[in-house]
Amino acid sequence: MQLSTQIQYILVLLILLTGMFLSIKAQKLTTPAAITGGLLGFLVFLGAGFPGLIMMASFFVMGTLATSWGSAYKASMGLAEENKGRRKASQVIANAGVGGILGLLSWLFTHQSELFQLMLAASFASASSDTLSSELGNVYGKRFYNIISFKPDNRGLDGVVSLEGTLLGMLGSCIIAGIYGLGFGWTWNLVWIVIAGTVGNLSDSVLGATMERKQYLSNDAVNFLNTLIGALTAMLSYFIVSQ
């Protein structure tokens, strides 16, 4: 049964308000972060409907669980998140800002909605891949390497990767791609989403090993660029295949 536009908007607002309240109550987001997330979530819905909103929510859930996973071990290694993983507004913008912008563009330019929806999915695939690879890689990784020199390096440092973390990051991209497939169809776009998510994640590590270590970029800036690079990679793939 197709819901009317008005009912869809009311339902989305209820979902977003409930999510904001629960996130604040569970101390997963600060109040400004929850408000920011709600606004970005609405933009994502405008351009990608419920599938887009589910992608964004899935990223948040995966990120929250990954941050909490192995928290005692991470704390013992000095790798625990600040404020017990409670996210600030700047962190929400860093991870979901590109998705919100692409949702708005998809809504405004409907003739290019497929492209913008693909890029939106890729941005969340990149964010998910980065979060899972870093948070779970620190727990399950066996050997850690500097992504620039490929020499052994200390876990948890900017730009340090592990095989286990990279594979877990790809799993995050696959989950986002699967949600995209359920919402928009099982096409080659799913492959581009996984590839774009992985490229975005690896670019995050490269920027971390170079710009962030030298304090030229903040962690939030690196995360924002990660999602932007993922989205642009998907766009490039889309245009190459459509030629």
pLDDT digits (tens, 9 = 90+) for 154-209: 988 999 999 999 999 999 999 999 999 999 999 999 999 999 999 999 999 999 99
Least Cα distance to 117 among 58, 170, 43, 64 occurs for 43
Residue 30, pLDDT above cutoff 80: yes
Whole-structure pTM value: 0.94
pLDDT value at position 83? 66
Boundaries of domain holding 214: 5-242
**How far apart are alpha carbons 118 and 86 in whole angstroms?**
29
Percent with pLDDT over 90 in the chain: 84
Instruction: Please tell me what DSSP assigns to residue 161.
Output: E
The band of 243, judged by pLDDT with boundaries at 50, 70 and 90, is low
Give ∠ CA 154-160-166 in degrees, rounded to 5: 125
CA-wise closest residue to 13 among 88, 5, 109, 116: 5
Q: How many residues does the structure list for the chain?
A: 243
Q: Could you tell me the two tokens for 155? A: 């876990």
* Structure token pair of residue 60: 């948040």
pLDDT for residue 74 is more than 80: no
- pLDDT tens-digit profile of 93-147? 999 999 999 999 999 999 999 999 999 999 999 999 999 999 999 999 999 999 9
| Residue 70, pLDDT above cutoff 90 | no
Span 147-151, mean pLDDT?
Answer: 94
Q: Is the pLDDT of residue 84 over 80?
A: no
Residue with the bigger pLDDT between 85 and 197: it is 197
Number of domains in the chain: 1
The rounded distance, in Å, linking the Cα atoms of 231 and 142 is 30
Residues 6+ apart with CB under 8 A from 40: 56, 92, 93, 96, 97, 99, 100, 103
Q: What local confidence, expressed as pLDDT, does residue 124 receive?
A: 98
